[in-house]
Amino acid sequence: MTATFQTVKNMFSAYLNQDFDLVFGTVDDAIRAFVQHSAPDEVSRAKHEIRTILAMQLPEEELQKVILQDLGSCYYYPAEWASAQLWLEHVLALLVS
């Protein structure tokens, strides 16, 4: 599945790695850094990939596996967000703004 979502995997593994809080402070600042440091077409691909993931309407448990294992996010969103869908929608909003 990660080959289909390579841009999001690159974003999560590079910006939401195990040290993201030390480097960026917050997860939102890490996503904003991705936007600042990436070419517009890369940000557009990330938005498209997140929209595609959301459209798949995966069960929460499966979507959590995709985010935390397949896409390499070290940010444990369940500690702050009620669902993966809500968190991905938030990430999408940060990419759009």
Residue-wise pLDDT for 21-38, tens only, equals 999 999 999 999 999 999
Provide the number of structural domains found in the chain.
Answer: 1
Confidence of residue 97 (pLDDT cuts 50, 70, 90): confident
In a domain, 10, yes or no: yes
Residues in the chain: 97
CB 5 within 8 A of CB 52: yes
Indicate if the pLDDT at residue 69 is higher than 80.
Answer: yes
Give me the pLDDT at residue 49, please: 97
In a domain, 1, yes or no: no
Full residue range of the structural domain in which residue 92 is found: 6-96
In a domain, 29, yes or no: yes
